[in-house]
């Protein structure tokens, strides 16, 4: 009998063993892969980890939208660049111009800084001149481009933030 035939003599491979890794160890044992393969398990774990990382980063990104008053935003315009943030100010009376799908207006900070705003989208029912608003968007050139306006009912806002409303009323 030849050497290869002698090595395989007396051994019968069933279906499970036929797919096993036959690079036997030092004792000549046949090593088997776990059923289902560990490669698929690792790929599955990597996909799940990537999906979780994406969701966490997206949530953190949404939660880190900066909040600035109009005065702070004007003072920090260069540092803000085109990053998305929230800006707060009082809608300047006489500045509101409604167009097709957008509203142009200005907001004023408590120290007198004025920011021109272009809002694209719907405006809340409570939106009107001379009320405090918070908008979400970014600077584009000299104007703030907004896609979200938040308006609190004026009496509630004044009750919760008397120092801010007083600041606006005394501003130039």
The pair of three-digit structure tokens given for residue 18, joined into one six-digit string: 């036929």
Q: What is the pLDDT of residues 8-19, one digit of tens each?
A: 455 544 444 444
Looking at the fold, whether 48 and 73 belong to one and the same domain comes out as no
Looking at the fold, whether 82 and 54 belong to one and the same domain comes out as no
Which of 8-12, 65-69, 94-98 shows the lowest mean pLDDT across its residues?
A: 8-12
Looking at the fold, whether 125 and 146 belong to one and the same domain comes out as yes
Looking at the fold, whether 85 and 50 belong to one and the same domain comes out as no
Looking at the fold, whether 83 and 138 belong to one and the same domain comes out as yes
Q: What is the pLDDT of residues 150-171, one digit of tens each?
A: 886 556 656 766 665 555 555 5
**Any domain includes 9:** no
Matching residue, tokens 């990597």: 46
**Are β-strands 143-150 and 102-108 bridged in parallel, bridged antiparallel, or unpaired?**
unpaired
Range of the domain at 107: 66-170
The pair of three-digit structure tokens given for residue 101, joined into one six-digit string: 């799908």
**Any domain includes 4:** no
Looking at the fold, whether 51 and 99 belong to one and the same domain comes out as no
Q: What is the pLDDT of residues 2-41, one digit of tens each?
A: 455 445 455 544 444 444 444 555 566 666 665 556 888 8
User: Residues near 106 by Cβ (< 8 Å), separated by ≥ 6?
Assistant: 91, 92, 95, 114, 115, 116, 117
Domain count for the chain, please give it.
2
**Any domain includes 6:** no
**Any domain includes 5:** no
Q: What angle do CA 137, 142, 143 make, to 5 degrees?
A: 40
């Amino acid at each position: 009998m030849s050497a290869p035939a002698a090595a395989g003599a007396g051994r019968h491979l069933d279906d499970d063993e036929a797919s096993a890794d036959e690079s036997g160890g030092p004792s000549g044992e046949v090593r088997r892969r776990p059923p289902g393969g560990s490669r698929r398990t690792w790929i599955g774990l990597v996909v799940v980890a990537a999906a979780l990382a994406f969701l966490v980063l997206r949530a953190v990104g949404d939660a880190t939208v900066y909040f600035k008053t109009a005065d702070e935003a004007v003072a920090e315009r260069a540092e803000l660049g085109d990053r998305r943030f929230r800006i707060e100010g009082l809608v300047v009376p006489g500045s509101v111009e409604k167009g097709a799908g957008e509203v142009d207006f200005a907001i004023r900070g408590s120290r007198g800084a004025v920011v021109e705003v272009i809002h694209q989208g719907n405006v809340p029912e409570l939106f009107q001149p001379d009320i405090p608003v918070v908008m979400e968007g970014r600077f584009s050139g000299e104007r703030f481009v907004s896609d979200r306006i938040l308006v609190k009912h004026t009496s509630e806002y004044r009750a919760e933030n008397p120092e801010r409303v007083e600041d606006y009323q005394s501003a130039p």
